[in-house]
Amino acid sequence: MAERRSRNDVDVSEYLTQNPEVAQWVETFRGYCETNKQWLARREFILRNMESFPTVKPGVSSSSLDQLLSLSMVWANNVFLGCRYPLAVMAKIQEMSEGIVVEDAPPTRTTMGGVMAKGRRGVTNERARGGCDEAGRTAALKSGPPAQAPAQQQPFFNRLYKAVAWKLVSAGGLGPNLDHFEVLQSCVESCKETLACAYVPLKDIAGLPASHTQREGHVCEIRCRTVYLGTGYGRDESAARAMASKEVLKAFQGRKVTVRICRRRYQGGDVDDLVLLDEQPRTQGFAPALTYPFQEQPLDTS
């Protein structure tokens, strides 16, 4: 395994040496808290799968790039943190990670196939022997974000607030010609993090405001570091992302932003979610959640 991993490292290094623009571009996606091992593995995941996303080009923002980066985070979260996702997502990242070997990864998270098999079998004797650590981790995933999560996330969003505030001042505010997503993305990347965008057709969403339930189009939800930032609606994914980004930027126009645990609707039930809030009073609830990173499986509403 060590020899195989070493060969992969050499291949990636040689490729980046021959493509310095790609090397500089991909480094902008490294997370603020990622260790060298975590980042090198996720970087390899990104580079190996770029060909599967033809519209992904260095230096160019696109929904395909958002999707690739989101999947790379899902894969890294599973391998290094033990996070679980719906089986369809797990199957996708298993396919995309073929050939990538992470040396000395936590033993319960090394084999993606093993994770999938456990999902199909349900609770087995082997899983029951996982001990208190496994049980405690699973309970935490199902119950929502830990109580200390807002305090842990707040320092990052304080830095992001300053970056966005200065960017908006230099741009003259939220003008009609402003590329809201580009502004938000560049500020997040300057803080060494990435945005995660989820897209769903409007017709597939239950519980939307009455003005949207009969309309064609898409809804986009934006997150960063598992924190929900905002939701937008549009005729296509790009327009929905632009509207979501504008809503997010509005939150940074106040004196501060705060990370809190709030209740949101998700697949017919109520869940606790990490949410970024401004100081303005809310006259209505949050949009239904499209993704929920703190739960192992979707809620059973039957």
CA distances from 268 to 203, 207, 301 (A): 15, 8, 6
The average pLDDT across 156-174 equals 88
Q: Which domains does the chain have, with CATH numbers?
A: 2-143 (no CATH), 149-277 (3.30.160.20)
Q: Which two tokens stand for residue 167?
A: 């960017």
Integer CA distances (angstroms), 267 to 48, 225, 244, in order: 33, 22, 20
**Highest-confidence segment of 98-102, 169-173, 210-214, 246-250:** 246-250
pLDDT digits (tens, 9 = 90+) for 238-274: 999 999 999 999 999 888 999 999 998 887 788 899 9
Instruction: Examine the pLDDT at 10 and tell me if it is beyond 70.
Output: no
pLDDT above 90: residue 13:
no
From 58-72, 148-162, 183-197, the region with the lowest mean pLDDT: 58-72
> CB-based burial of residue 131 (10 Å sphere; 0-12 exposed, 13-18 middle, 19+ buried)?
exposed
Average pLDDT of the segment spanning 221-246: 92
Does residue 186 have a pLDDT over 50? yes
Average the pLDDT over 119-136 and give the result.
36
How confident is the model at residue 211, as a pLDDT? 55
